[in-house]
Amino acid sequence: MDKALAELIRISNATGKDSALVQGGGGNTSVKTADGKYMYIKSSGTALKDMNEHQGWWRLRLETVLSIIKDKSIAQLDTKTREVEVVNRLLLACDDKVTAEARPSVETHLHAFLDKCVIHLHPNAVGAYVSAKNGKAELHKLFKDEKPPILWVPYTDPGFMLARKIAALVNNYQNRLGKKPAILFLEKHGLLVSAKSPHAALQLVRRVINRCNGRLRQPKVGKIKFVSQQIISDIKLCIRRAFFEATGKYATINYFYDDCFAAFWRQRDAQKMLLYPALAPDELVYANGPAMWVDKCDSDKIAGRLTSQINKSRKPSVAFLVRGVGLFVAAREKVTATIRDIVASSFFIRANAYRMGGVASLNKRQQSFISEWEAETFRKKLVSGSGEDELRDRIAVVSGAGSGLGRSIAAGLARAGASVALADIDTKAAEQTRNFIKEELPKAQVMVVGCDVTNEANVREGFEALLKNWGGLDILVNAAGVAPAYSLVKLPVEKWRLAMEVNLTGYFLMARAAARIMTKQGIGGNIINISSKSGLEASKDNTAYNATKAGEIHMARGWALELGKYGIRINCVCPGNVFEGSKIWNPEYIRTCAKKHGIKPDEVFGYYVSKTALNREIKGQDIADSVVFLCSDRARTITGQTLVADSGQVMVR
């Protein structure tokens, strides 16, 4: 490994693992090679702590990077054309065999004019000064004895224009003092340090942070107020409803409590401090600006405030500080921790900047540039994931998800973009389903919920776990089931009762719990009962199955009439014979079917396929596709209906 690359990984990991230096995974680093020809730099969207010799960096030809800044023709281009041109030129400057979606850091140009080792961070201690109206004067007093002196960089649009600004300032600085600056404070942005060695750069960063922190007020640790899970769940549903009503988008809602949140809301002017717009690019890009102050959770009022933001061409808040309770974040799981860290940093910075002459936030023009900046959009996409999946960000529960149709349906919902809770009495099987989904879809949001659908308390606990994790519910698929195959005269009463419990009581308990959440949430929803063709046309030697599957259909029709006024749609899917991964089609059941039809066990599957009009075996994905359709907006007028997915064996009449 090249010495410069090893040094880059060292300083990156050291800073990235220090929470005092890095919030939300932000920051970047670079190291130039000894011959001055190349520069290794962190790639965009990579966390500093995650960098290693195989990923998270690019090597660029330094002269090519410098030529971008020197090219005056680029500055004449319109903003969008200019930024795309710069991105393309940076990619052309890359000189390595790295193949990845990530790009060189969006701030590569800034590093090119500085010393060998460069660390660029957004620590709270620095943010308090660079986001304060009197921050520049305070920093010059604080570092008045620093040799060489610090360099203050007035706010400039990030990217190419900031790189040009720094190039000019560094050139003037060098002409005056005969050397390059070692410490640069970037207004409304962060800190840049540069040194001749990794050790010197790391020492310099920590010295700057310690000195800055020495003049700042740290949050006071207070007593943690107990808040019941019921209150937290109610607030999640309230915020989720408000967010959906204002934006038309589904979101998972996550809850956080930290001493710094409580310390902030206890301050007299806390609400006033949050009225200032975003302080820095990261707060705008990831958190859509400052957290919304909420005294009391009223979904209509919150929706109104979000709508007002949108009408003013602002991004709607995704973080909500509920006084006395904690922070609620409406975002995908992967980006939630980043938003939490950025918001926590913002609280600290706002409180200290407020005492330092007032808060200096981004103005409307600056916000507009950052919101439209292609490089930041790309960076957020890498962190949070993107896509136009049909069920994106909807929250689903699938019972019987440990095997067979339940597993296939859960995977189908995940492919469509939903966050899926895998409910099953067999948690090991559910874990296998989770692994199956994550292997195909590493970014999928999946959780396992141990749940006996026949146990009322167990069902309640399962949905409580769902709300605690994701804060809402949009889809329930009842897929857990049993099929005791006996002739009437040989059917044991305990098998009859088992079928009633699992196939009817289980569906009822799950649907009741789901309906209670959906009605409280107030944004509609979908409940799908997985019935069977046997629920429409009875099959021989299947008394319990016939009765329960027919009952599931009729229950769904009644629920559709009850819940339609809440925008909740209830439908059934009646699969034909799905053999793939099924626990129902076990060897004993296959032998029973073979005996019933006078054929050999190995002929059973072919026999049932031959009874369909399409002469086509039904796969789990076929049923999953039916479920996804019924849960999608394409089926928005369909409720109380039965969709038969059996390759044409039973015709609905």
Over residues 178-195, the pLDDT tens digits come to 999 999 999 999 999 999
Spell out a b/e string for 55-93, using b for 16 or more CB atoms within 10 Å of the CB, else e.
Answer: ebbbbbebeebbebbeeeebeeeeeeebbebbbebbeeb
The pLDDT of residue 91: 86
Q: Are residues 490 and 546 in the same domain?
A: yes
CA nearest 62: which of 88, 85, 31, 84?
A: 31
The reported pTM is 0.86
Spell out a b/e string for 554-578, using b for 16 or more CB atoms within 10 Å of the CB, else e.
Answer: ebbbebbeebeebebbbbbbbbbbb
Residue range 617-651, pLDDT digits in tens:
888 899 999 999 999 999 999 999 999 998 888 87
Q: Are residues 379 and 399 in the same domain?
A: no
The pLDDT of residue 530: 97
Evaluated on CA atoms 88, 90, 95, 101, the torsion sign reads: negative
- Structural domain that includes position 498: 395-581+617-645
- Asked if pLDDT for residue 304 goes beyond 70, the answer is yes
The pLDDT of residue 513: 98
Phi, psi of 468 (to 5 degrees): -65, -35
Q: Are residues 244 and 316 in the same domain?
A: yes
Residue range 412-452, pLDDT digits in tens:
999 999 999 999 999 999 999 999 999 999 989 999 999 99
User: 3-state DSSP call for residue 119?
Assistant: strand
In whole angstroms, give the CA distance from residue 602 to residue 580.
15
pLDDT-derived band of residue 653, with 50, 70 and 90 as boundaries? low
The conformation of residue 147, written as its DSSP 8-state character, comes to: S
Q: Are residues 375 and 401 in the same domain?
A: no
- Asked if pLDDT for residue 334 goes beyond 60, the answer is yes
Q: Are residues 149 and 292 in the same domain?
A: no
Q: Is residue 650 part of a domain?
A: no
In whole angstroms, give the CA distance from residue 433 to residue 414.
11
pLDDT-derived band of residue 340, with 50, 70 and 90 as boundaries? very high
| Stretch 465-471: mean pLDDT | 96
Domain boundary among 183, 213, 243: 213
Q: List all residues 6 or more positions away from 535 whose beta carbon is below 8 Å from its beta carbon.
A: 546, 549, 550, 551, 552, 553, 572, 574
- Asked if pLDDT for residue 223 goes beyond 80, the answer is no
The pLDDT of residue 585: 81
- Return the minimum-mean-pLDDT range out of 75-79, 413-417, 460-464: 75-79
CA nearest 281: which of 181, 387, 162, 384?
A: 162
Residue range 358-416, pLDDT digits in tens:
999 999 999 988 887 744 454 445 455 544 589 999 999 999 999 999 999 999 999 99
Q: Is residue 652 part of a domain?
A: no
- Asked if pLDDT for residue 594 goes beyond 90, the answer is no
In whole angstroms, give the CA distance from residue 249 to residue 318.
12
Domain boundary among 333, 350, 384: 384
Q: DSSP alpha helices (H): ranges in 385-454?
A: 404-415, 427-440
Q: Which amino acid is at 597?
A: H
Element (H, E) at 383: helix 374-384
Q: Both tokens of residue 580?
A: 């793939």
Q: Is residue 330 part of a domain?
A: yes
CB atoms within 10 A of CB 169: 18
Q: Are residues 95 and 74 in the same domain?
A: yes
Q: Are residues 380 and 400 in the same domain?
A: no
User: 3-state DSSP call for residue 43?
Assistant: strand
**Which residues are part of the catalytic machinery?**
545
3-state helix, strand, coil in the chain (%, to 5): 50, 15, 35
DSSP sequence for 299-336: HHHHHHHHHHHHHTTPPPP-EEEETTTEEEEES-HHHH
In whole angstroms, give the CA distance from residue 606 to residue 615.
9
DSSP sequence for 347-381: HHHHHHHHTTT-B----HHHHHHHHH-HHHHHHHH
The pLDDT of residue 298: 95
Q: What percent of the chain has pLDDT over 70?
A: 95
Beta bridge partners of 644: 574
pLDDT-derived band of residue 158, with 50, 70 and 90 as boundaries? confident
The pLDDT of residue 86: 87
- Asked if pLDDT for residue 467 goes beyond 90, the answer is yes
CB atoms within 10 A of CB 213: 16
Q: Is residue 603 part of a domain?
A: no
Q: DSSP alpha helices (H): ranges in 17-96?
A: 62-70, 72-75, 79-93
Length of the chain: 653
Domain boundary among 362, 384, 406: 384
What is the CATH number for 338?
3.40.225
Supply the mean pLDDT for the chain.
91
Q: Are residues 292 and 205 in the same domain?
A: no
Q: Both tokens of residue 54?
A: 């195989």
- Asked if pLDDT for residue 197 goes beyond 60, the answer is yes
Task: Report angle CA 460, 466, 468 to the nearest 5 degrees.
Answer: 100
Evaluated on CA atoms 198, 200, 203, 208, the torsion sign reads: negative
What is the CATH number for 171?
3.40.225.10
Contact 526, 476 (CB under 8 A): yes
CB atoms within 10 A of CB 330: 29
Task: Match 């390595």 to its residue by tokens.
Answer: 96
- Return the minimum-mean-pLDDT range out of 160-174, 468-482, 557-571: 160-174
pLDDT-derived band of residue 104, with 50, 70 and 90 as boundaries? confident
Report in angstroms the alpha-carbon separations of 629 from 29, 389, 447, 563, 636.
47, 12, 23, 20, 10
Evaluated on CA atoms 277, 282, 285, 290, the torsion sign reads: negative
| Stretch 328-357: mean pLDDT | 93
Q: Are residues 426 and 554 in the same domain?
A: yes
The pLDDT of residue 400: 96
In whole angstroms, give the CA distance from residue 262 to residue 220.
9
- Count of domains forming the chain: 3
Give the strand order in the sheet containing 319-322.
Answer: 253-256, 326-330, 319-322, 292-294
The pLDDT of residue 477: 98
Q: Which amino acid is at 144?
A: K
The pLDDT of residue 98: 56
The pLDDT of residue 593: 84
Residue range 577-591, pLDDT digits in tens:
888 777 778 888 888
The pLDDT of residue 382: 45
Q: Are residues 153 and 285 in the same domain?
A: no
What is the CATH number for 519?
3.40.50.720
Q: Both tokens of residue 293?
A: 């102050």
* Alpha carbons within 13 A on the beta-carbon side of 629: 14
- Asked if pLDDT for residue 24 goes beyond 70, the answer is no
In whole angstroms, give the CA distance from residue 203 to residue 419.
44
Q: Are residues 7 and 152 in the same domain?
A: yes
The pLDDT of residue 388: 54
CB atoms within 10 A of CB 221: 10
Q: Is residue 590 part of a domain?
A: no
Phi, psi of 16 (to 5 degrees): -65, -25
| Stretch 33-54: mean pLDDT | 90
Q: Is residue 589 part of a domain?
A: no
Q: What percent of the chain has pLDDT over 90?
A: 69
Q: Are residues 373 and 503 in the same domain?
A: no
Contact 6, 40 (CB under 8 A): no
